[in-house]
Structure 1
Amino acid sequence: MRSNQLNSFISDLIDIGLVFSNKPISEQRSGRITMVSVGQSGKPTKNDYDITDVVEDNLPEETSIREYTRLFENGFYSLLFHDGSLAQLSYSISNRNGDIIAYRYVYIPAVAEIDVSASESPDIHLNNADLSKLPRHPVLRFEFDPDGQARRHPESHLHLSSNSTRIPVNAKMTPRCFIGLIIDYYYEGFIEAFHAKYPQMAVAAGHLSQDDEKRFHIAPYRI
């Protein structure tokens, strides 16, 4: 997906009311590939954190409430959903044919009902809240990393609230496919409007090893 296609797609998400705002799209060309990212959406490093957030060189858990508020307050996301949830989008494409050759897509659910149109901060809801009673959906991180493929580390996989949990995904996913999955399972009220613009197609071609094919895995539709 080229930058102009991605920009048009994000505009459609804003038009249907799913996304409230987005960060700028950037491209970085390097040899035969182009890296595309929306805002600050790559894997965080120690330099991205305030020193008080780093304990013994360990970064905060990406599923934690503290990490969500840090991302929200500092604008470390690609898309801000209408309910305060966040998405991060970054991927690399081949300059020869435009195929996606690596990606990192992350969905970070809001930790409270946040009115983003009123510029609310998560702190408004968290300062006096009983944190033990706040519902928390899992963080979903889809990655495609052919160079990192190994036993129990499929090139295409889903991290489900844990770095060590890698569920094989039997296809490369486009940003459209990723957002379509999020809508289907978390935003039922937007399914009709989204698929009117982006209908589902056949299951995409497989990208799993024979061993991973035998394991439980996800087979996403193409969108």
Structure 2
Amino acid sequence: MTTTRTVAEEVRNLLDYLLDAEIAAYTNTVSENGTRVSWHATDPGLPFLVSRGDPTLQDYRRWAQAGAYSALLFDGALLQITYDVDGGELAGHRLAYVPCPYRLDENLVRHEPILDVIDLHIATEPTSMVLHSAIRFDFDPGSAAPGHPAAHMTINSAHCRIACAAPLHIGRFTDFVFRHFYPDLWKAHLPFFERSAARDAGPRTLTEDDRRTPHMYWS
């Protein structure tokens, strides 16, 4: 049985590890609000999404300003972790890795207000942005339809929805992020990342239509 309490505890354990290992520069308190597990934003008055389009520099800046993240990593990248639980089952998730649009100095990220660091780069290096794409894993069975798999990965474009075998457990999500985007850190902390990387958060969701096109599958 899945509960908000058990999911929240798993997220807290992850964030505590990332902070203690100095992989994360900042983490936010885990929020349990009804059926949702997410984060406590430092400025909840700022809108999370202005549009449904592709993430922009201003989206990243607003998320950093509002504290709209679970963790801010040592390089300024954001982890946004949200799970929905209903009736003892996972009802949805939004798991996003948002790279920082600039290459930030690690010491500045750790010791200066993150918004000041970002604005410094925007002002002095406006054309030196890093063209890394955000990546997001969504589970939204209520919206499942042809072209919109229940579990999917979005990368590079809001219209990109690559079917996934199942909803992602937090351990599998973080293992994926660090395995592919921070391989040296992943190797250095391999026992931690491997511990829960083999778990799924729910049953397999691939349809026959999903199987006919390129999709993400794991055993």
Is 1:190 equivalent to 2:188 in the alignment?
no
Q: Which structure 2 residues correspond to residues 28-39 of structure 1 after superposition, within 5 A?
A: 28-29=33-34, 34-39=35-40
Partners of 1:169 and 1:190 lie apart in 2 by: 25
Match in the other structure for 1:139: 134
| Aligned positions of 1:98-109 closer than 5 A | 99-109=89-99
1:151 aligned residue: 146
**CA–CA separation in structure 2 for the residues paired with 1:129 and 1:61:** 25
TM-score under structure 1 length normalisation: 0.80
Unaligned runs of 5+ in 1: none
- State the identity as a percent: 23
Q: Provide the secondary structure at the position in 2 that maps to 1:2.
A: helix
Decide whether the 8 Å contact of 1:16 with 1:193 is kept in 2: no
**Equivalent residue for 1:4, pick from 3, 9, 17:** 9
In 2, the alpha carbon distance for the partners of 1:141 and 1:216 equals 17
Residue 5 of structure 1: how far off its partner (Å)? 2.4
Structure 1 residue 161: deviation in Å? 2.7
Unpaired stretches in structure 2, ≥5 consecutive residues? 1-5
* Structure 2 residue identity aligned to 1:139: A
Correspondences of 1:40-189 after superposition (within 5 Å): 40=41, 48=47, 59=51, 61-96=53-88, 99-114=89-104, 115-119=108-112, 120=114, 121-131=117-127, 133-189=128-184
C-alpha deviation, 1:7, in angstroms: 0.9
Provide the residue aligned with 1:21 in structure 2: 26
> Does structure 2 conserve the Cα–Cα contact (< 8 Å) formed by 1:167 and 1:217?
yes
Query: For 1:136 and 1:63, how far apart are their aligned partners in 2?
Result: 12
Distance 1:23 1:203 in 2: 24
CA contact (8 A) 1:79 1:88 kept: yes
Q: CA deviation at 1:220?
A: 4.7
Moved more, 64-73 or 178-187: 64-73
TM-score (norm 2): 0.82
Asked whether 1:213 is paired with 2:208, we answer no
Are residues 62 and 72 of structure 1, via their aligned partners in 2, closer, same or farther at CA, if it must alter by over 3 Å? farther
Give CA-to-partner distance per residue, 1:12-39, whole Å, 9 cap, x none. Answer: 122222211111111123xxxx211123
Q: Which one-letter code corresponds to 1:155 in the other structure?
A: A
CA separation of 1:146 and 1:72: change in aligned 2, threshold 3 A = same
Distance 1:87 1:116 in 2: 15
C-alpha deviations, 1:89-136, integer Å up to 9, x for none?
A: 11112453xx433101111100112231122420111202142x4222
Paired amino acid for 2:38: S
Structure 2 contact 152–162 (Cα < 8 Å) conserved:
yes
What is the rounded CA distance, in whole Å, between the counterparts of 1:60 and 1:164 in structure 2? Answer: 10
How far apart are 1:192 and its partner, in Å? 2.1
CA-to-partner distance for each residue in 1:172-200, whole Å, 9 max, x for gaps?
A: 10122111111011111211233312326
| Aligned residue pairs, count | 204
Between the aligned partners of 1:148 and 1:213, the Cα distance in structure 2 is 18
Which is further off, 190-199 or 103-112?
190-199
- What residue identity is the alignment partner of 1:178? F
RMSD: 2.7
